[in-house]
Amino acid sequence: MTIKELRKSKGLTQEEASKICNVPLRSYKRLENDSSYLTSLRYKSAYSLLDSYKVYEPQSKYNILVIGAGYVGFSIAILLSINNQVSVIDINSDKVNKINNREPIFKDKEIEAWLKEKKLNLKAYLPNKELYKGQDYIIISIPTDYNIESGLLSTTGIENLVKEIRSVNKNVLIIIKSTCYIGFSETLKDKNVIYSPEFLREGKALHDNLYPSRIIIGGDKSNPKVKKYGLLMQSHSLNRAKVLYMSSKEAEAVKLFSNAYLALRVSYFNELDSFAIKNDINSKNVIEGVSLDSRIGDYYNNPSFGYGGYCLPKDTMSLISQMGGVENNELISSINRSNKSRKAYIVKDILALLKDIPNPVVGIYSLESKKGSGNIRYSSIQDVITDLERSGVQIIYLSDMSIEEFKKVSNLILTNRYDSQLDDVKNKVYTRDIFARD
Ligand SMILES: NC(=O)c1ccc[n+]([C@@H]2O[C@H](COP(=O)([O-])OP(=O)(O)OC[C@H]3O[C@@H](n4cnc5c(N)ncnc54)[C@H](O)[C@@H]3O)[C@@H](O)[C@H]2O)c1
């Protein structure tokens, strides 16, 4: 059997096999396609690693229902549907049709590959209480927006769903994956409702479910259903991620403190970058010098217009509210202020560059926070645009015209993340993407 046949017999994609064999994807593809490698040591070592890799074969297949087919729900549904019977409910009929036609509902390379290559036991439906019956697990992954009045994440949708589920199914284990405020799950007073936070990155949703950094289960480990759920999730991770059991309140805290740390880190490097702009020093040199200390780390340190996206702003705000009762709260309570002042600083810097141009036109290359994610929810560039418009700057969008016209008409081109398509107009581009990593 060749290495390609071996991989296929285990139902793995080339990317998964490359990770198991510990070789870059490009090198792995060569092992499969170039026969001159057949006798090489590298081929033999990769073959033996792949051969000894045990594909999860569940003792029993479960019936699983996922409510809310977004980044979180759809990726977990795909992951679990390889070995289990998975149903998905969403209120959006377009999404339901797409899922049933095996079409991707957002940009994600790995999900697209799985939809094409794997046999998935997955069916999507519009809301229907009948589907709550006969399930082993029900996973809730609907949005939890920030509620300005309470200062917390809104959990009304989850509360309604739990009530509805319990009216037809008293005992099924319900897993809340939506991000909640700390202490929410306890208020439901139901030992068969647990909280398990999600840490995926948009655009890499399935990848991060296949290789989770950790699996956090907020529920009573002595409840056999809870333990089994932890094992189910672990057995679907290709890195056999560590499972940590704790109380639901602690698990909710893990999620909010993780996202607040990420927001804090973005803000820290952005403030460093603002200092560099103001003092005319090279931000890249300073960040590299700072980050090579292994305690700090050379990653997640690229300046931007500010953190954005669906999660970091709302989760940080919710934690800030909950920190209100803690005397020692200076650092966390200032994250949001730092992000606002970063955006204001960027606007000021741009306006200074435009000051001698009459009726300046600023072109928006992309509204995305993360390059190629296709997601523009709450991206920081949108706040920058609003403030520029208030200052009388005319804004145009690449999405409304050809790239040639866009480059010609714009006095300045704004992009949170750089793209080589802009190489010929580099002198017009305004970005703080100083590392321009993909
Ligand atoms: N996006 C992320 O990177 C991420 C990461 C970790 C945690 N989370 C959290 O997970 C939750 C979901 O986030 P998301 O990004 O997947 O959201 P999303 O907006 O991408 O998807 C949510 C889906 O739920 C559907 N929906 C809403 N109400 C519903 C209902 N009552 N019944 C059935 N379907 C319903 C919507 O139509 C939508 O398709 C949020 O609490 C979020 O904070 C998100």
Contact by Cβ (8 Å): 332, 295: no
Does the C-beta of 124 come closer than 6 Å to ligand 1? no
Q: Give the integer Cα–Cα distance in Å for 390 and 52.
A: 62
pLDDT band at 370 (very low <50, low <70, confident <90, very high): confident
Collect all residues with Cβ–Cβ distance below 8 Å to 116 and sequence separation of at least 6. 102
What pLDDT does residue 424 have? Answer: 97
Q: Which residues contact 317 (CB under 8 A, 6 or more apart)?
A: 146, 151, 336
> Of the residues 71, 206, 317, which should be mutated to test ligand 1's pocket, given the most ligand atoms within 8 Å of the CB?
71
63-246 maps to CATH 3.40.50.720: yes
**Per-position b or e across 108-144, b if 16+ CB within 10 A of its CB:** bebbebbbeeeebebebeeeeeebbeebbbbbbbbeb
What is the maximum alpha-carbon separation in the chain?
A: 71
202 Cβ closer than 6 Å to some ligand 1 atom = yes
Which atom of ligand 1 is found nearest the CA of 74? 16
| Arithmetic mean of pLDDT, 52-58 | 64
60 has pLDDT over 70: no
Give nearest CA residue, ligand 1 atom 26. Answer: 68
**Whole-angstrom Cα distance, residue 96 to residue 122?**
11
For residue 278, which phi and psi values (nearest 5 degrees)? -60, -35
End-to-end CA distance of the chain: 36
Residue range 277-430 in CATH 3.50.40.10: no
pLDDT at 11 over 80: no
User: What is the reported pLDDT for 8?
Assistant: 84
Distance 310 CA to ligand 1 centre (A): 10
User: Which candidate, 126, 124, 121, 79, places its Cα nearest to that of 99?
Assistant: 124
d(CA 336, CA 314): 10
Looking at the predicted structure, is the pLDDT value of residue 56 above 80? Answer: no
Gap between the Cα atoms of 396 and 409, Å rounded: 9
Please say whether the beta carbons of 57 and 36 come within 8 A. no
pLDDT, position 350? 97
Q: List CB contacts of 195: < 8 A, sequence separation 6 or more.
A: 175, 176, 180, 184, 185, 218, 219, 248, 251, 252
Q: How far is CA 330 from CA 287, 325, 327, in A?
A: 24, 12, 8
Please tell me if the CB atom of residue 179 comes closer than 6 angstroms to any atom of ligand 1: yes
Segment 103-114 shows an average pLDDT of: 94
Pocket of ligand 1 contains residue 47 by CB under 6 Å:
no
Distance from Cα 142 to the centre of ligand 1, integer Å: 4
Distance from the alpha carbon of residue 42 to the mean position of ligand 1, in angstroms: 43
Where in the sequence numbering do the catalytic residues fall? 311
Is the CB of residue 24 below 6 angstroms from any atom belonging to ligand 1? no
Atom of ligand 1 nearest to the CA of 92: 37
The minimum-distance atom of ligand 1 relative to the CA of 160 is 31
Residue 412 in 3-state DSSP?
strand
| Domain residue extents for the chain | 3-52, 63-246, 277-430
- Tell me the sheet residues that pair with 363: 396, 413
Q: Is the CB of 70 under 6 A from ligand 1?
A: yes
Q: What is the mean pLDDT of residues 233-261?
A: 96
Q: What is the pLDDT of residue 105?
A: 95
Residue 437 pLDDT greater than 80, yes or no: no
Residue nearest to atom 10 of ligand 1 (CA): 178
pLDDT of residue 189: 97
Please tell me the predicted confidence (pLDDT) of residue 107.
Answer: 92
**CB contact set of 69 (below 8 Å; sequence gap of 6+):** 77, 88, 89, 90, 92, 95, 96, 99, 105, 124
Q: Which residue puts its alpha carbon closest to atom 35 of ligand 1? A: 68
Indicate whether this model's pTM tops 0.85: yes
pLDDT for 17: 87
Q: Is the CB of 142 under 6 A from ligand 1?
A: yes
Residue given tokens 């809870």 in the structure block: 226
Fold match between 63-246 and 277-430? yes
- Neighbour tally for 162: CB within 10 Å: 19
Average pLDDT score over residue span 92-96? 98
Taking 60 as the threshold, does the pLDDT of residue 57 lie above it?
Answer: no
* Window from 37-41, 198-202, 233-237, 409-413 with minimum mean pLDDT: 37-41
What spacing in Å lies between the alpha carbon of 69 and ligand 1's midpoint? 7
Q: What is the pLDDT of residues 121-154, one digit of tens each?
A: 999 999 999 999 999 999 999 999 999 999 999 9
pLDDT band at 13 (very low <50, low <70, confident <90, very high): confident
Closest CA to 266 of 237, 302, 296, 215: 302
pLDDT digits (tens, 9 = 90+) for 313-342: 999 999 999 999 899 999 999 999 999 999
Q: Is the CB of 136 under 6 A from ligand 1?
A: no
Q: How far apart are CA 429 and CA 411, in angstroms?
A: 9
User: What is the rounded average pLDDT for all residues in the chain?
Assistant: 94
- Written as one string, the DSSP assignment of 215-278 is EEEES-TTSHHHHHHHHHHHHT-TT---EEEE-HHHHHHHHHHHHHHHHHHHHHHHHHHHHHHH
Give pLDDT, residue 327.
Answer: 94
- Tell me the backbone φ, ψ of residue 297, rounded to 5 degrees: 90, 135
pLDDT of residue 109: 92
Indicate the range of 49-58, 91-100, 204-213, 372-381 predicted with least confidence: 49-58
Nearest CA owner, ligand 1 atom 15: 71
Query: Quick one: pLDDT at residue 308?
Result: 96
